[in-house]
Structure 1
Amino acid sequence: MLALGGLLAMAAGIGIGRFVYTPILPPMVEALSLSKAEAGLIASANFVGYLAGALLAAVRLPGSRRSWLLAGLVLNVVCLAAMGTTTSLVLFLLLRLAAGVASAFCLIFSSALVLDRLAATGRSGLSALHFSGVGIGIALSAAVVAMLGDWRNMWLASAGLAAVAAIAVALTVTAEAAPSAATARVPRTKLSSAFIMLAVAYFLFGIGYIITATFLIDIVRGSPAIRHLEPYAWILVGIGAAPSVVLWGALGRRIGILPAFAVASLVEAAGVVASVLWLQTMGVVIAALFLGGTFMGLTALGLIGAREAGVGDPRGRIALMTASFSLGQIIGPVFAGVVYDATGSLVWPSLLAAAGLVLAALLSLASQRFAPAAPRTASASRAARTPEA
């Protein structure tokens, strides 16, 4: 039941709260005559909020982790519902900013609660169920949105889904015990060359995936040959995301965390290229599955790699990785939107994003040369207990 609660928290806060904007974006842009730059700005506001929420969650907040998780879930529902009640760009920006904070709280506090308890009871293998919530949330919300015609109703229906999940989380994730001494504050550690290269790779990953994640459905809607696939493309992203952490974690245990990160980056780059250069049915399928099948796996692999790319307590490195990733997500949609408004195409921003992913793969492999040696079994253990993916 605990792992199910974590799954639902990730589905509500990340799968719906962060990513339902993508399938709602095309009808919303059409109805409100938003420019691509404005659409990208709204997306970036959410990522600014996510960065702020991640940094806030890293400090010692008063109250229990469960209380902050539930607060994040409630704020998430309120923000989703409010998006369907306004047409003000300023309010859109503020609501998506607040929703980003809520998403970060849902991810970090649910992961801290659920994965700690699973590890304590010897059931760390169930952590994959927790992370699969993101893909399940994406797929379910995409299916609901596909059945509706009005963008306002899409936001309200998404809020309803998130509210049901939040209630289930409140019932399944019970109050926690007092925090252990392991959560006490620790001194920061010196950053290694390996970590710096990996952080840059993580930044490039943030830019590389988010342009396609933001505009994929808009690309499909704007291409007559594949417009009929609009209701299904985002569902495919969710289907690809659900098992991805399990699959990439298994590859990481077999060939190493950083080589697996490199492979996943190249796969994602191929999907990004397909999204703009292969505007046929198979191209959309590949773009959606490659995007969904890599972005959560890359998130987890990057944080595992950060733990190994230095000595001492890894929490400072994980916080910096989160900030690096968030910065990439903030820049990507705005950059793509501005270029689209200037050129009428997302081809060049997407190709640059794919090139960034290739560079991220190379940097992750270079980082491995400088990383401290770690037993493969340790990597496997870390993969099962990654607290922030």
Structure 2
Amino acid sequence: MRTSSPTGLWLPIFAGLCASLVSIGLARFAYTPLIPALIQAQWFSANDVVYLGAANLVGYLIGALLGRPLARQLSNKTALRIMMLAVTAAFFACAFPLSVIWFFAWRLLSGIAGGAIMVLVAATVLPHVPAARKGLASGAIFLGIGLGIAGSGTLVPPLLSLGLQDTWLGLGALSLLLTALSWFGWPADLAHADVTHDAAAAQPTPPGVYLLFGQYAFMAAGLVPAMVFLVDYVARGLGAGAHVGALVWVMYGLGAIVGPVSYGFLADRFGARRSIRLVLVVQAIALGLLAVAHSFLALALLAVVLGSFPPGIVPLALARVHELLPEHHRQQLAWSRATVSFATFQALAGFAYSALFNATGGHHALLFVIAAGAIGVALLLEQAAIFWKHTNPCRREPARDSHSPENTALTVVAPSRASSLPQG
């Protein structure tokens, strides 16, 4: 039975928001404004600091793979609670830089928790939400990522005035508070939610799902440089200082707050597929401009646009999965695979960009240009798929149902509205 009362509806959504805020918004993005401080305080070398940032991305991949098996053993609710506690423990542990290995292990654990939460949170909350509110609920859940980014930009600088160790302890305290507030908000697992992998895999998967996996992977590769290097680019690369870098990061956070809601609106208004095209074009242009921008106004505006992307594409991709697959258990499996695809390229890109950054002596602009190219590949994938379909007319995807035969994965016709997505 789905939750029907307003209080019962918003408590799970609030729990999901807290989970995405802690595990992604803070655990990953609070590290970015800390990079200059970690280097200046000589906790680690500049090269080590960059690779320690990539540790979270590797953990995210591991967590995306382990999320569903862990939930089958413990239940979604228990797994989510444990992962939030793991992130909290990692914050407190990072207050003590005992060694690079120690720090790497805890950053890795925080990434594992983030990946598992990203796989499980929507599958836990959205089945309890009426179909007409799924888009809004999805945007509200992943709004936590944006709030975490914005919070890290406004919270980290004053905490740093107390000291680097106190900064990590403060982030741990905030994470612990949010974990406690969300503890009783998680809904019980639905009885029909546990469907075997074989049962889901036995049904044919629309080609559009695989296309989404590819696009989502290159989106991940395209968002890493701004996500990891933006503050360092402004503070050290342009010589503007840590204060200006923090201000630009706040603008990035504002964009992250707007992203989930605005991208969800685009999906409801124009369909997820068409919205993905539009977003990719805008992001590619913004990354190209970031490589040559120097004024604070230009950097601030670009930061807002780029900041909307990491949290915004999550509900957008999820809406696309719901457009392509009507059954709840298949949506869960496809979303898990999409998250793994995203996490794989994000981790590979994290280490590749870090290695390139160190090899070029800190050439930020080159990273942004390469990221723009990755976004361009994501955009071209769909065009290549459309061309392939037109040159192979016999390869047509079966319709989802008799009422919407035109909504196949690779047709040019716009998909149905996200608001009409089937209930999980």
**Same fold (TM > 0.5):** yes
Of 40, 51, 68, 1:58 maps to 68
Q: Which residue of 1 aligns with 2:220?
A: 206
Alignment of 1:164-183 (within 5 A): 164-171=177-184, 173-174=185-186, 176=188, 179-183=190-194
1:357 — aligned with what?
375
The one-letter code sitting in structure 2 at the alignment partner of 1:5 is A
1:134 to 139, 145, 149: 145
Deviation at 1:72, TM superposition (A): 0.9
- Is 1:24 matched with 2:38? no
Distance 1:205-1:175 versus aligned 2 partners, 3 A rule? closer
Instruction: Between 212-221 and 283-292, report the one with greater CA deviation.
Output: 283-292
Using a 3 Å threshold, how does the CA distance of structure 1 residues 228 and 145 change in structure 2: closer, same or farther? closer
* Local SS of the residue matching 2:335: helix
Q: Distance in 2 between matches of 1:203 and 1:228?
A: 33
**TM-aligned CA deviation for residue 28 of structure 1:** 0.7
Task: Decide which of 286, 298, 307 is 1:271's aligned counterpart.
Answer: 286
Distance 1:343 1:376, change over 3 A: closer
1:158 equivalent among 171, 183, 200: 171
Task: Report if the CA contact (8 A) 1:9-1:133 is conserved.
Answer: yes
Distance in 1 between the 2:325 and 2:15 partners? Answer: 33
Q: Deviations along 1:150-194, whole A, 9 cap, x unmatched?
A: 3322222111111111111114x0552x53224322331445543
Q: Which is further off, 219-228 or 74-83?
A: 219-228
What's the TM-score, normalizing by structure 2? 0.81
Kept in 2: contact 1:273–1:350 (CA 8 A): yes
Deviations 1:75-98 (A, max 9, x none): 111001111111411112111111
Give SS of 1:181's match. Answer: coil
237-246 or 16-25, larger mean C-alpha shift: 237-246
- Which residue of the other structure, out of 115, 118, 121, is the alignment partner of 1:107? 118
C-alpha distance in structure 1 between counterparts of 2:139 and 2:315, whole Å: 11
Residue correspondence of structure 1 range 33-112 to structure 2 within 5 A: 34-35=44-45, 37-59=47-69, 60-112=71-123
* Cα drift, residue 4 of structure 1: 2.4
Aligned to 1:7: 17
Root mean square deviation of aligned Cα: 2.7
State the alpha-carbon separation in 1 of the partners of residues 195 and 183 from structure 2.
27
* 32-41 vs 349-358, which moves further: 32-41
Deviation string 1:41-95 (CA, Å, 9 cap, x unpaired) is 2222212211111221122532332211111111111001111111411112111
Q: Quick one: structure 1 residues 143 and 228, their matched pair in 2 at CA, closer, same or farther if it must change by over 3 Å? A: closer
Q: Closer, same or farther in 2 for the Cα pair 1:117/1:361, shift >3 Å?
A: same
Gap change, CA 1:126 and 1:229, over 3 Å in 2? same
Query: Which structure 1 segments of 5+ residues have no match?
Result: none
One-letter identity of the residue aligned with 1:235 = V
Deviations 1:276-327 (A, max 9, x none): 3202202221232112112222222233334545787344432222121111
Structure 2 counterpart of 1:168, one-letter code: L
Question: What amino acid is the match of 1:351?
Answer: V
Q: Residues 311 and 133 from structure 1, CA distance in 2 versus in 1: closer, same or farther, beyond 3 angstroms?
A: closer
Equivalent pair of 1:262/1:365 in contact (CA under 8 Å):
no
* Aligned mate of 1:336, from 327, 350, 353: 353
Amino acid at match of 1:298: I
Q: Which residue of 2 aligns with 1:257?
A: 272
SS at match of 1:32: coil
Q: C-alpha distance in 2, partners of 1:316/1:126?
A: 20
Name the amino acid aligned to 1:356: A
Give the conservation status (yes or no) of the 8 Å contact 2:87–2:113. Answer: yes
CA distance in 2, matches of 1:303, 1:109: 12
Structure 2 Cα separation of the partners of residues 115 and 191 of structure 1: 22
**Distance across 2 between alignment mates of 1:99 and 1:332:** 18
Looking at structure 2, the residues matched to 40 and 191 of structure 1 have their Cα atoms a distance apart, in angstroms, of 38
Q: 2:419 aligned with 1:380, yes or no?
A: yes
TM-aligned CA distance change 1:258 to 1:170, over 3 Å: same
Answer yes or no: is the 8 Å Cα contact 1:197–1:363 preserved in 2. Answer: yes
Task: Report deviation, 1:40.
Answer: 3.4
Q: State yes or no: 1:239 paired with 2:233.
A: no
SS in 1 for 2:291: helix
Structure 2 residue 317 is matched with structure 1 residue 302: yes
Hey, what's the Cα distance between the residues in 1 that align with 2:325 and 2:20? 29
Query: What's 2:232 paired with?
Result: 218
Match of 2:336 among 316, 319, 336: 319
Structure 2: gaps spanning 5 or more residues: 1-9, 390-396, 400-405, 408-413
Secondary structure of 1:86's partner?
Answer: coil
Q: What is the deviation of 1:341?
A: 1.8
Question: How far, CA to CA, are the matches of 2:339 and 2:376 in structure 1?
Answer: 20
Cα distance between partner residues in 1 of 2:170 and 2:415: 45
Q: What is the TM-score normalised by the length of structure 1?
A: 0.88
Match of 1:286 in 2: 301
- 1-side partners of 2:80 and 2:375: how far apart? 32
Indicate if the aligned counterparts of 2:119 and 2:335 stay in contact, CA closer than 8 A: no
SS in 2 for 1:210: helix
CA drift at 1:377: 4.0
From the superposition, tell whether residues 113 and 27 of structure 1 become closer, same or farther in structure 2 (CA, over 3 Å): same
CA distance in 1, matches of 2:259, 2:226: 18
User: Max radius of gyration: which structure?
Assistant: 2
